[in-house]
Amino acid sequence: MRPSKARSVPGAGLLSLSRRTWAALAVLIAVHVWAAIGTEFSPARFARLANSIELLTRWWPPAWELADRILEASVVTIQIALMGTTLAVLFALPLSFLAARNTAPGRFAYNASRTLLTVLRGIPEIVIALVLVPTVGLGPFPGVLALFIHNLGVLGKMVSELIEAADRGPQEAVLATGGGRGHMILFGILPQIVPETLSQAFYRLEVNVRASLVLGFIGAGGLGHELFLSFRVMRYAEVLVQVAAILVLITAVDYASAWVRRKVM
Amino acid sequence: MALLVVRGLRVRYPGAQEDALRGVDLELAPGEFVCVLGPSGAGKSTLIRCINRLVEPASGQIIWDGHDAMRLKGAHLLAYRRQIGMIFQEFHLVDRLPVLANVLMGRFGYVSPWQAAIGRYGPQEVAWARQALARVGLAGYELRRARDLSGGQRQRVAIARALVQRPRLMLGDEPVSNLDPVTARAIMALLAEINRRDGLTMLINLHSVDLARAFATRVIGLSRGQVAFDGPPSRVDRSVLEQVYGTAG
Ligand SMILES: Nc1ncnc2c1ncn2[C@@H]1O[C@H](COP(=O)(O)OP(=O)(O)O)[C@@H](O)[C@H]1O
Ligand SMILES: [Mg+2]
């Protein structure tokens, strides 16, 4: 039988945290109160929920007659993401061997390529696209370039970390045969990093489909562009179909990418 | 003349408190089958890696076939390494590639990385690879993926890879420690057969005293970075083992 006067024993439950943990928790709560004030967080405003519902009712009935056009736009969205991702992978692979401590040909190449990757990663796609539009014009192409450049930074860093973490054993085996640096990279390292690199590339494809929707807002074409146009002229029946298409698209890409990633690992 | 002479070899790893090797002397005559015994951390792997210059010693001499091997650089270093085969505890094959591609890695000293990448080898090299596979009992396995083989078969592929280097010395870093006892004995028997028939000199680290006694023509006991015993397997007795492994066991 359970003793009747059970009470929390110090050091017994999940909450037996150290003084430092409690202090960290207090700081964390304070930071969030501060952020809530800054973002005008106010559940009371939900009193006007009817306004949103009224908006949504104006979306109905969906403009299904636009399905063809939206399908075409979805294809463009996927094409933008695909081109941007693949270019990034192709250029990231060689660059990351310069940016990995164990394969860099020298300190200068290492530092220069690390810095380059950090800068590329730090610039948001939308900024790159805006800067490139005067040069290459509007349309999907600046979108592709923007995804390529940003993702080169993201994937380059990731692949160079895979190179640094690669098992030394196979590399030693190549050197022991009398093979040089090139043999070591191609046979001792590359086969080890390919599966994880592919897996990350498909994850980036997923991320880039979303990103190319946003790029559509600034004229990169595709589904994002269509959504932006319909919203601006308040054709909500079209918006509804476009949002449905986005949901389907993203879900499909997520599944496809998860499937491929399982296969390559 | 000795094939390999090692004198006063000292190694200190970056950041380590003590030397991993503290003045090792060793001479290998052609055709010997030498097994190196010693507890974990004694410096067995370090010694082997110094010989083919995967680890740089702080001081000491390595004389290969009468020539100084310590100062070799660039192409000369690669040419030196390709005369020495090496097998490992974890095999270190490229698991996703077929057996043949793995065996032909032994020709890396002779083909450019790009040729290797597109699988461009001479007919003589391919013939050697097939012979080596037959030699280790894997004829017909050329196109099987390395990862689909058992541990013993993978070590056989690694031995074939070393053989197509046409080496004059074979180094082994505990090549049978990852195998079951029966397979381990079979692999040691294969190495012994290659040693007898081709006269290929062997320097093999082991953690099994029984296998060393059964196959070696000479045993070296390493203890805390120094040679504590060097003699024929028949002289490896209780007192020698105590000296090498310490009295704790
Ligand atoms: N890469 C390394 N960095 C630092 N210390 C090492 C390294 N490799 C081995 N050592 C140390 O050198 C000593 C000898 O190691 P090792 O040659 O691997 O011995 P064994 O193969 O006999 O077990 C050990 O003390 C080990 O911890
Ligand atoms: Mg070892």
pLDDT tens for each residue of A197-255? 998 998 999 899 989 888 888 888 888 888 888 888 888 888 888 888 888 888 998 89
Strands B169-173 and B21-28, how do they pair?
A: unpaired
Give the mean model confidence (pLDDT) for residues B77-86. Answer: 96
Pick the CATH number of A65-264 from 3.40.920.10, 3.90.1150.10, 3.40.1160.10, 1.10.3720.10: 1.10.3720.10
Q: pTM, whole model, 2 decimals?
A: 0.86
Whole-number Å distance between alpha carbons of A52 and A55: 5
Ligand 1 mutation target, pool B10, B13, B49, B86, most atoms within 8 A of CB = B13
**Helical pair A140-165 and A125-136, crossing angle rounded to 10 deg:** 130
Q: In the structure encoding, which two tokens stand for residue A230, read together?
A: 């319909």
Does ipTM surpass 0.90 in this model? yes
Q: Please give the pLDDT value at position B115.
A: 94
pLDDT at B144 over 90: yes
Whole-number Å distance between alpha carbons of B125 and B123: 5
Question: Hey, where are the domains in chain A?
Answer: 65-264
pLDDT at B249 over 60: no
Q: Please give the pLDDT value at position A57.
A: 86
Residue carrying the six token digits 């496809």: A256
Q: Which CATH class is domain B32-51+87-245?
A: alpha beta
Q: Which ligand is nearest to the CA of B54?
A: 1
- Please state which of the ranges A172-176, B82-86, B239-243 shows the lowest mean pLDDT: B239-243
Please tell me the distance in Å from A70's CA to the nearest CA on chain B: 42
Model confidence at B57, pLDDT cuts 50, 70, 90, reads very high
- Is any ligand 1 atom within 6 A of the Cβ of residue B44? yes
**Cβ–Cβ gap A174/B109 under 8 Å:** no
Give CA separation, A248 vs A61, A252, A261, in Å: 19, 6, 20
**B contact test, residue of A103, A177, A264 with most B CBs within 10 A:** A177
pLDDT at A10 over 80: no
Q: Please give the order of strands across the beta sheet that includes B67-68.
A: B21-28, B4-11, B59-64, B67-68
Residue A28 one-letter amino acid:
L
Whole-number Å distance between alpha carbons of B73 and A87: 38
The torsion of the CA quartet B109, B112, B117, B123, rounded to 10 degrees, works out to -70
Whole-number Å distance between alpha carbons of A101 and A163: 9
Q: Please give the pLDDT value at position B163.
A: 97
> Residue B12 in contact with residue B210, Cβ under 8 Å?
no
* Nearest chain B alpha carbon to A189: B94
Residue carrying the six token digits 């399908």: A71
Q: Can you tell me which atom of ligand 1 is nearest the CA of B46?
A: 17
> Residue B196 in contact with residue B228, Cβ under 8 Å?
no
Question: Is the preceding omega at residue A61 within 30 degrees of 0, hence cis?
Answer: yes
> Residue B63 in contact with residue B5, Cβ under 8 Å?
yes
pLDDT tens for each residue of B147-173? 999 999 999 999 999 999 999 999 999
Whole-number Å distance between alpha carbons of B105 and A179: 8
> Does residue A180 sit at the B interface (CB-CB below 8 Å)?
yes
**A contact test, residue of B45, B80, B83, B92 with most A CBs within 10 A:** B92
Taking the centre of ligand 1 as the mean of its atom positions, its distance from the CA of residue A133, in whole angstroms, is: 57
pLDDT tens for each residue of A63-89? 888 888 888 888 999 999 999 999 999
Within 8 A by CB and 6+ apart from A185, the residues are A97, A103, B113
Q: For residue A8, give the DSSP letter.
A: P
Taking the centre of ligand 1 as the mean of its atom positions, its distance from the CA of residue B227, in whole angstroms, is: 16
Please tell me the distance in Å from A182's CA to the nearest CA on chain B: 5
Residue pairs between chains A and B whose CB atoms are closer than 8 Å: 77
Helix (H) or strand (E) holding B141: none
> Does residue B165 sit at the A interface (CB-CB below 8 Å)?
yes
> Residue A26 in contact with residue A32, Cβ under 8 Å?
no
Q: Please give the pLDDT value at position A55.
A: 82
Within 8 A by CB and 6+ apart from B36, the residues are B44, B47, B48, B203, B204, B205, B206, B219, B220, B221, B222
Whole-number Å distance between alpha carbons of A61 and B49: 75
- A 10 A CB-CB count for A142 gives 26
